[in-house]
Structure formats: C-alpha cells, structure tokens
Chain A
Amino acid sequence: MFINIFGKRIRAALRNWSTLIWTWIFPIMMATLFYFAFSALDEADLLTVIPIGIVDNQEYGEDTAFRSALGSLSADGDDKLFEATIYPSAEDAGKALENQDIDGYITLENAAPNLTVSGSGLNQTIIKSFLDQYSQTKHAITSILAENPGAVSEISELFNRESFTKEISLTQNPPSQTINYFYALLAMVCMYGAFQGHESVSYLQANLSPLGARRTLSPAKRLPMVVYDLLASFVVHVLCLMMLVAYIVLVLGVDFGSNLWMVILTCGLGSLLGIAFGALISAVTKFKENIKVALIITITMICSYGAGLMVSGINYTIARTLPVLSWLNPAARIADSFYCLYYYDNLSKYFLNLGILAAMTFTMFTITAFFLRRQRYESI
C-alpha cells in the first residue's frame, strides 16, 4: 500500500504544473534576479575617491599649510581621498558643481575655508569634515601656543594623524547586504510547501475533492494513508528545495557557511513546516479552493516580508521592536537559521530556531490530525 499511495502522490505532484512553476521555476528565477540585481550592492557603501574643486585665488596660493594638507589627501596612493581640480574662478567651479563633475568646491576667504555644495550626502560631509579638522587644528595650535609658547614640538602631533584605534572583526564571515535576500527566498519556498500540504489534504478529504470522497470509501486505514501521502509531499518539496539550494550555492556562489548538512536539515524542517501549514489551512477552513490558495499565498508573503524578502533588515527591526512577532514568524525563523549558520560562531541560537520550528510543525500537524479524524458527512 505504501508504494501505491506514495508513488501515485509523487506522480500527481510532479504533474501539477501550476505548483511546479511557483515552487520550482519561480524561486530559481528570483534567485537569479537577486544575484544579478544585488551583485554590486555591497560595494555601494565603500568609500571612493571624492571629486572636489578648489578656487585658485590669492589666499589659496599663499596658504601653504592648507595646500600641504590637501595635497596629502589627494596624492596618488592607497590613502587618496580627494580628486582635486583647481578652477580659476568660483563661476567655473560652480559650473562644474552644476554638471555634477565635483561634489563640492572649496574657497579660501578671510583666512578660513568655505565649502560650496549642491546637496547633502556622505561625500559632502567628508569634505566638510576635512575642512573642519583643518580649522580646528589651526585653532588648537594658536590656542596652545598662546598659553604655552614652548610647546612647539608637542603640537606637531596634531599633524601626525596617529591612529588611536585598531580594527577588530566580530565574526569570521563579513556582513553582507545581499545574502539575507537569498535566505528569505529559501524561507518563502519552504513555506510554499503549503501547496503540497494543501493538495494532500484535498485529495484525502471527502468534502474537498471527488478523489477524497473515493479514497474515504476505500478499505484502507486512514492513518497510514495520510502519513504516506504527506510523506510523498514532503519528498517532492525537499527535492525542490535541494535543487534550489544547489543552484544558489553551486551556480550563484552564495555562502551558507561551512556546515551544509545543517542547511539541508533546516530545509527539511522548513519544508515539513510548510506542509503542516498547508494541511492546516486546508483541513481547518471551509473556503473554496482558490480562496485557500490565496490565503496560503497571502500569509506566506506577509511572513516572507517579515523575514526580509522585500526590504533587507526589516527582520532585524521587527526582532528589536516586536520580538514576539519575530519569534512566531516561521519564515523569519527559517531565514534566521541560515543566518546563524553563516554568521555566528556558536550554534545555540540556530538550535533554538530549529526547536521553535519543530514545535510549530508539531502543533499544526496535531490540529490538522484532530480535524481529519473520524469525519462523517451528512451530504457532500
């Protein structure tokens, strides 16, 4: 009986094109689009050489200290911060600013630098910070020498730019803005297991499909029938997830950390949760088929949104502000499990996530079982 039910359910699942498109082809397309669209996202925050302009007036020509400070940051090399262009007049520099050739231009007037920009941003802030430091250092030197004229050697330290900090790394793997999109996508596909769970229950319940009615009359025990059916759904969905993980890891080269077995374990438990969720929706609600599918999609999309599928970092914001909601969101738990495997050194939070997922799955299966057992129909 096992081979009969299990085999036929697998064949039925593989022949359902609509489900296959949404659970197999759609995620692969999304992963590919994520890969191409987010390929340069991590580089967007990197510091680049800032184009600036300097108005070549008399004060600029005479202020050797300023020219030296600017020269040290515009010289070719690893520490180059500015790409400085000298303009003969403020009008020319203004034109370059309008054409967005430069982020701002500096004019030395009344022994102080002035900055002209066309908008706000980090580049403009860094230019201003450089000018602030120049004026502050000048002020400090004047102030120190006024009180202590003999301190000429000590004030040279102000120009040394000694580093007082040393960089440390919090984790082995670097933070990435793109990786969570892939984790949230996998979480969404895990929850799409609900389509398989829903189909299984529809094929088992007499009031949901003609096939269900026929199977209810068959001389087979109910429990093995349900278990074999759901097992086949699980196998088909895990197969789909394995294919997706293989594509993401091997073709797109997304990092899931070193422990691939744990990734497979998470996918398995995530699939089981998705199937339990679909079975629950199908067994408990009395809606029409398309309403049930719409309900599954809507809940999955809301959960996936909370896991960071559309806005990266929203899962973190929810976890900080509404922690209970975050813990109860199965998609967030699945995505967080992948994140733990990639980012954390110890796996205690990972296993906590798996525990929560297992508890959710068990609860949903228990409620489904309660609705599936000993049903009698007055009319179908």
Chain B
Amino acid sequence: MKVFKACLLIMKRHKGQILIYLIIFMGIFVVISAFMSTKITPDFSETKPEFTVINRDKETAFTEGLRGFLSNHGTEVILDDKKDVLQDAMFYHATEYILIIPEGFDASLATETPISLEMAAVPGTGDSYYLDNLVNQYWSFINTYQKTGSQMDDEVLVSKALESLSLETSVETMRFSTGQPMDDAYYAYNRVQSYILLVLILLCVSSVTLSFKRPELQMRNLCAPTTVRAKNFGQFLYCGVVSLFVWLLLSVMGIILSAGRLAGTDWRLIGLMLLNSFLFSVTSLAISMLVSHFIKNPNTQNAFANFLGLALSFLGGAFVPLEFLSQSIQAFSRFTPVYWYSKAVTGIYSLTSLDRASLRPIWQAFGIELAFAAAILCVSLALGKYKSRAENSFGSIRTELDS
C-alpha cells in the first residue's frame, strides 16, 4: 500500500489543475443547461419558431389579425426596421422568418394586382416553410372572404377568417415508456461528460506515471525492498480508484445539477446512463495508461490531454450530435470509443420501451466500449513491458560508459 499512498500524495499535489478543469466544466454546463431549460410536457406541444413582422405600411385590422394569427403558432421577436439589425437577427437565428409589409400594401389590396409581401429567411429551412405557409393561409382566407362577403367591414371579415383559422386538429400523444422523457440538459451533460472524464482521468493517471518514470526515482524504487508486482499493483489500484472517484464525482454532480428536472424520469434510464459513463471511464483509464507511455514532461501533459480529449470528443459526437456529422466522418468515428459512448447516450435518451429488442443497440454499444478498453489495455501492457526492458527504461540516463 506504500506505492498506492505515494500515488495519492502525488495526486494531492496536482489537485489544483484538476479543480480548474472541474470548475470550468461545471460553469460551462450551468450556462448550457440554462439555455436548454425547456419545460417538459408529456403531451404534444406545437413548435413555435421565431418570426418578425416589419410593417412599413399602416396598421390595419388585417395586419393586426395576421400578427395575432402568427403569434398563436410562433414566437414574435420585435426588431427595429434597420437593415443591420435584421441581418444580425437572421444570422444568429434570433428570428427564423422576417415578414415585411411594404408601403402601400393595404391600398393595393383593392386593386387587381396587389403588392406582394416580402419575406426573408434562411432558404429551405423547416421553420421558414412552416411560417410562410401560415402567412399564405391567412391571406388566402382574407382574400376569399373579401371576394365572397360583400359589404363586410374589415374587422368582421378578419374575425370570420380567424374563426375558420382557429380550428385545430386533435392530437393524441402515444407514450411508449412509463416515465416522462429525459431532461435535455441531463442528456447534454452526459454527452459532453465523455470529454471531461477522459481529460481528468488522463491527467490523474499521467501525473503519477510521470513522477514514477523519473530515472532517479525509478532506480531508487528498484532498490527498494518492494517487489515489482507490489509496485505495479499499487499503481493499478490507484488508477482504478481515481477513475472510480472521477466517475462518481461527475455522475453525482450531473444528477445534482439536473436534480429538479429528473424527478419524473424512469430511474432505469438514469441507471443505464450511469452504467454507460462508468464503462467509458474504464475505457478512459485504458486510454490514459496507454498515452502515459508517451508523455515525457508536464508541459506536454495538458497538451496531450486536451488534444486527445477534444479530437475524440468532436469526432465521436460528444459536442455535436452524431447526426450532424457527415457520413464519411461518422464512418471514421466508428473506430473511436467516444462514438459508441455517444451512440449509447443518444440511444438511452430516445428509448421508448425497455424490451430486449429496444435495448439491444445499447448493450451492443456497451460491449464495444468494453472491447475498446480491453484492446487498448492489452496494447498498453505490451508497450509497458517493452519499455520496462533495461535498454529502454533509462533512455535518458547517460553514464561514462556511453561516451
């Protein structure tokens, strides 16, 4: 246990950088979850995309009716009628659809060739199609009522059109799982967790191996009345314990940060999420043990951790959902463990039932994660064996015999 205690002591001296990573990660997660704090309702609710109406003509019963109708199906974003304001809002998706009522539009309605309304949107998006369809539906009704209802006031005409437009189809929501859907923020936390798990475990493991690799320390340890087996056991035990601790810490933090929103969620889904992150922490441990062989000094330690963590996480779909990655990248990322972790997270999130068929892809992803861990661990042990051979282990030592 002396080696194990020494490992813990080394870790204690590096707790500062681990804390910095934890605090930054938690800070970013809190901000992200604040953006994702959508209210979960078990029943169907309409998606209400953002729209803006810029009226360069006068306010009439028609335009008021249009605003009211669109507001029932979307979220109005009020913007100034300035080109750069509209451009910015469109670029940053503050609004998905801008409808401009041009000057003289109302007067032109009575003529044979009314002026067209102008619309700006990101071409081809579902939101713009939906909102444009609503605008056309509204004016189509107004137009028809105008032509058929002679001597009708504009207000009466609009109220008649809106009465027809207020009819809604009944929607039944079919639930295939017992609990309510999993909270979006907890799902996002679990996806991004792969990055921080890998970085933290890599830093914890490499900090210790880096210290033990120092030639003078290595020579002293070889002289010590401890067997190599006991030394290796102590280090392995430390690696296992620290990985378990990191996993436990992040899991508890995730549950605490999402506590209020997980109340109705099926606990078996949360259990599967925890099992998935646990398996990934085993894979991360194997990766860390392999990578530690290549880390030569503390300066490259952070670079290694971040380069590897970010590359695997980006390619594996931790930051950007897998469906947004191109087909070629997805094909490549199948060879990374984060891909299978993310696939399992998404699979658990969208589980509708817990029968054998639905769970099969989840178990498959778990198995592949474990297979990655076993394969990487084998390579790491083989490399360790090779590196521990006398001619490799003290490569940086120079004696008078070398010259």
Q: A-side interface residues toward B, CB under 8 Å?
A: 17-18, 21-22, 26, 29-30, 33-34, 36-41, 44-48, 94, 97-98, 100, 112-126, 128-129, 131-133, 135-137, 139-140, 143-144, 147-148, 151, 154-155, 157-158, 160-171, 174-177, 294, 301, 305, 310-313, 315-317, 319-320, 339, 343-344, 349
Q: Which residues of A are found within 8 Å of B324, using beta-carbon distances?
A: 37-38, 40-41, 44
Q: Which residues of B are found within 8 Å of A163, using beta-carbon distances?
A: 136
- Can you list 18 A-B contacts (CB < 8 A)? A29-B311, A33-B311, A33-B314, A46-B125, A94-B174, A97-B174, A114-B169, A117-B173, A120-B41, A121-B47, A126-B129, A129-B73, A144-B145, A148-B149, A162-B143, A164-B136, A170-B87, A339-B91
**Which of B27-35, B211-219, B284-292, B393-401 touches A?**
B27-35
**A151 and B136: CB pair below 8 A?**
no
**In-complex Cβ contact of B32 among A34, A97, A117, A311 (8 A):** A311
Interface residues on B, range: 35 or more
Q: A136-B164, A136-B167 are in contact. Are A164 and B139 (CB under 8 A)?
A: yes
Complex formed: what's the CA distance from A203 to B187 in Å? 48
Nearest-Cβ distance from residue B361 to partner chain A, whole angstroms: 12
**B181 and A119: CB pair below 8 A?**
yes
Nearest B-chain residue to A131, judged by Cβ: B169
**A135 and B169: CB pair below 8 A?**
yes
B144-162 Cβ-contact flags toward A at 8 Å (1 or 0): 1101110000000000110
Interface of B is mostly: helix
Q: Which residues of B are found within 8 Å of A18, using beta-carbon distances?
A: 299
Complex formed: what's the CA distance from A164 to B66 in Å? 13
Q: B-side interface residues toward A, CB under 8 Å?
A: 20, 24, 28, 31-32, 35, 41, 44-47, 49, 73, 83-84, 86-88, 90-94, 98-100, 116-127, 129-130, 132-137, 139-141, 143-145, 147-149, 160-161, 163-165, 167-176, 181, 299-300, 303, 306-307, 310-311, 314-315, 319-320, 323-326, 329, 350, 352-353
Q: Which residues of A are found within 8 Å of B132, using beta-carbon distances?
A: 165
Nearest A-chain residue to B116, judged by Cβ: A166
**B122 and A175: CB pair below 8 A?**
yes
**In-complex Cβ contact of B121 among A124, A167, A176, A310 (8 A):** A167
**In-complex Cβ contact of A45 among B20, B125, B133 (8 A):** B125
**B169 and A168: CB pair below 8 A?**
no
Complex formed: what's the CA distance from A371 to B320 in Å? 45
Q: Which 5 A-B pairs have the closest CB atoms?
A: A316-B92, A131-B169, A151-B148, A33-B314, A164-B139
Q: Which residues of B are found within 8 Å of A349, using beta-carbon distances?
A: 84
Complex formed: what's the CA distance from A176 to B92 in Å? 8
